[in-house]
Every structure is written in structure tokens, then in C-alpha cells.
Amino acid sequence: MVEGFERYDGHLSTGIQTTHRLMLELSRNGYDGEAYRLLNLRSFPSWGFMLEQGATTIWERWDGYVKGRGFQNPGMNSFNHWALGAVGEWIWRNIIGINPDEAYPAYKRFAIRPRPGGGLRWAKGTYKSIRGPITSDWKIADNTFTLDIAIPANTTATVYVPTTNPESVRESGKLPRQAKGVKFLRVEDGNAVFAVESGRYAFVSEWKTADLRASTDEHKPRR
């Protein structure tokens, strides 16, 4: 897929089925920086191009409307469509970081794994699950990553805290081993990983600004 972008000057060339899967597969294979790059594009074809044309929803076609040409097949062109709008799943899973565990239906167990990048300094979202609201709220400031989360009653979660120094992680000012409801699991791909019980938690870790820039530039296609 990444090699394919080169043939289209670093842009997408995908339709309904591929667009749904493409961003998820990029992150699943370690190309978060490339996914963010595509999300941030403003030239055609891209989601940002739709915004540049005045869109407030995501269209069925990349070229649903073009200044100077007008609407493309108005009778067969939805302007609020799931197809290219499936990028919303990537946003929830990777920017907000809320991911279901398919082995435990209805969010009995789930993961919170935000993947900072793309120049973003903060993101916040709440999913109103059948078991209660799940919240992921993160921000980056002064070389510090802060992650505030809410885990509903009678559920558990695996939480990935991005950090450049796993020893720096604290929860509500305490070492993780001293925090109630928190169990350290491992260090994985730049994250300190914890199992947490239901409740509210405030994680803080060291996160250098240089690492944020690096994640933005990673895997840029060649020209």
C-alpha cells in the first residue's frame, strides 16, 4: 500500500472497500506516521480536500464537489456516507484510542491505546457503551504525556501509556505499583502497558517533543 501511494503523488486512490481497511492496516503494521499524513492532506484526493470545498460531512466520492466544476453526479452522490467516512473508525481506534476486545463482547474488556502523531497535541472522546461511558482524554505539553481515562463498572481495560521513559509513568501521582486497581504488564512499542479495573485514572509520563515530530515524519513516501 505504501509503495502504491508513490504512484499517486502520495495520495489515496482507493474506493469503498479498500478505504475502510487501509488506515487500520497502516497502523496495525507500524505506519502510524503515514496514516496521519494521509489524514492531514488537503489536496485532491483526500478528506482534507472535502473540508477545503466546504464539507461538514464526509462524502461518497473524493470528487463529490470541485470548485469551478460543481457537483459530480448529484443524483448518485451521497454527501454523508459511511464509505470514505469509515476513516472515523481509525480515528476512534488510534487517535482517541478506544478498542473493543472481540473475545469479550459489549466492552466487558477493552483496550485504550492512543497513538499520538500528526502534530496533534490533544484528543478527547467518550464512547457510550452498553456498560457505561468509556473516556480517553490525552494531551502533550512540556515533554509530558497525560492520559485521563474512565473505565465503567464491571469492566476491565488494558491501557497503553505512550512514553519515552517507562520509569517515569505515574498514576495520580503514585508509582503504578502503588496505585489501586493498576497492574503493570509490560513495555511494548514505546508504551508502558497496564491492566486496570473500573474507575477513573490519571496517567502521566515523559514524552519528548522531538519524538512527536519524528512520528509525524515517519514513512513519508518518496517523490
Per-residue pLDDT averaged across 166-181, rounded?
97
Report if residue 222 sits inside a domain: no
Q: What is the pTM of this model?
A: 0.88
| Statement to judge: residues 158 and 208 lie in one domain | yes
| Statement to judge: residues 106 and 80 lie in one domain | no
Would you state the pLDDT for residue 75? 63
| Statement to judge: residues 112 and 176 lie in one domain | yes
| Statement to judge: residues 76 and 106 lie in one domain | no
| Statement to judge: residues 58 and 128 lie in one domain | no
Report if residue 218 sits inside a domain: no
In degrees and rounded to multiples of 5, residue 19 shows phi and psi of -60, -40
Window from 12-16, 65-69, 106-110 with minimum mean pLDDT: 65-69
Boundary (domain end) residue, out of 88, 121, 155: 88
Structural domain count, the chain: 2
How many Cα atoms sit within 13 Å of 96 on the Cβ side?
A: 18
| Statement to judge: residues 103 and 208 lie in one domain | yes
- Range list of β-strands (E), the chain: 65-66, 70-71, 98-100, 109-112, 122-129, 132-141, 144-151, 156-162, 170-171, 182-188, 191-196, 199-206
Instruction: Give the integer Cα–Cα distance in Å for 178 and 83.
Output: 46
Nine cell digits for residue 76: 448518485
Mark residue 167 as left, alpha or beta (left: phi above 0; alpha: psi -120 to 50; beta: remaining). alpha
Report if residue 83 sits inside a domain: yes
Q: How confident is the model at residue 1 (pLDDT cuts 50, 70, 90)?
A: confident
| Statement to judge: residues 70 and 122 lie in one domain | no
Mode of pairing for the β-strands spanning 65-66 and 70-71: antiparallel
Domain span at residue 117? Answer: 98-213
Boundary (domain end) residue, out of 88, 121, 139: 88
CATH of the domain at 173: 2.60.420.10
| Statement to judge: residues 115 and 153 lie in one domain | yes
Mean pLDDT in the chain? 90
Per-residue pLDDT averaged across 196-208, rounded?
97
Judged against a pLDDT cut of 80, whether residue 221 lies above it is answered with: no
| Statement to judge: residues 124 and 201 lie in one domain | yes
Would you state the pLDDT for residue 81? 83
Boundary (domain end) residue, out of 88, 123, 141: 88
Instruction: Give the integer Cα–Cα distance in Å for 158 and 142.
Output: 26
Q: Is the peptide bond before 45 cis (omega within 30 degrees of 0)?
A: yes
Judged against a pLDDT cut of 90, whether residue 78 lies above it is answered with: no
Instruction: Give the integer Cα–Cα distance in Å for 117 and 27.
Output: 12
What proportion of the chain, given as a percentage, has pLDDT over 70?
A: 91
| Statement to judge: residues 22 and 61 lie in one domain | yes
Window from 5-19, 20-34, 63-77 with minimum mean pLDDT: 63-77
Report if residue 80 sits inside a domain: yes
Between 105 and 66, the higher pLDDT residue: 105
Per-residue pLDDT averaged across 54-70, rounded?
84
What proportion of the chain, given as a percentage, has pLDDT over 90?
A: 73
